[in-house]
């Protein structure tokens, strides 16, 4: 007698992760309302470290490993990794930027005269451009050496 296993595809969006994301955003809102500089600074630094650390790990450690694996393994890793990072990376980036802005306002960096304010504004502009570049250029990721990208039509 033979048995057949039917693979049930994993959901792309795990809505239970949304509870953790909302809890983190509520903590951020509480820190902003309380106005404690130490707590705002802690949240800003911690979320920025998480955001940068996870991004660097994915790019410099996981990327080269996946580049040497077969397409089926890459697909499997992406299917399992995407639901876990969908809410995590979005939430961490929102918390990092928002707490950074409120921290700058609280410390008076947004009320500086022109030369100093220009540096702050350009840094915020650069952070916004690099943050949105990922959304704008998702389909333009480089292909591994020696491989070709399939055409959109088939």
Largest CA distance in the chain: 81
**Angstrom distance (rounded) from CA 58 to CA 84:** 13
Ramachandran category for residue 108: left, alpha or beta (phi over 0 → left; psi -120 to 50 → alpha): left
Helix (H, G, I), strand (E, B) or coil at 66: helix
59-77 pLDDT tens trace = 899 989 999 999 999 988 8
Distance of CA 119 to the CA centre of its chain: 25
Phi, psi of 4 (to 5 degrees): -115, 135
pLDDT at 39 over 90: yes
Cα atoms in the Cβ-side hemisphere of radius 13 Å centred on 71: 4
The dihedral region occupied by 146, where left means phi > 0, alpha psi between -120 and 50, and beta the remainder, is left
Average pLDDT over residues 90-113: 88
0.75 exceeded by pTM: no
Q: How confident is the model at residue 145 (pLDDT cuts 50, 70, 90)?
A: low
């Amino acid at each position: 007698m033979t048995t057949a296993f039917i693979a049930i595809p994993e959901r792309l969006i795990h809505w239970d992760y949304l509870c953790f994301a909302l809890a983190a955003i509520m903590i951020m809102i509480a820190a902003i309302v309380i106005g404690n500089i130490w707590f705002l600074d802690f949240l800003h630094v911690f979320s920025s470290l998480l955001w940068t650390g996870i991004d660097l790990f994915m790019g410099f450690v996981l990327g080269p490993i996946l580049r040497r694996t077969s397409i089926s393994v890459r697909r499997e890793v992406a299917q399992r990794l995407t639901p876990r990072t969908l809410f995590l990376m979005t939430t961490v980036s929102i918390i990092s930027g928002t707490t950074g802005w409120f921290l700058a306002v609280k410390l008076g960096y947004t009320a500086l005269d022109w030369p100093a304010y220009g540096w702050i504004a350009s840094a915020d502009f650069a952070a916004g451009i690099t943050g949105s570049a990922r959304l704008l250029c998702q389909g333009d990721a480089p292909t591994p050496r020696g491989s070709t990208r399939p055409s959109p039509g088939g």
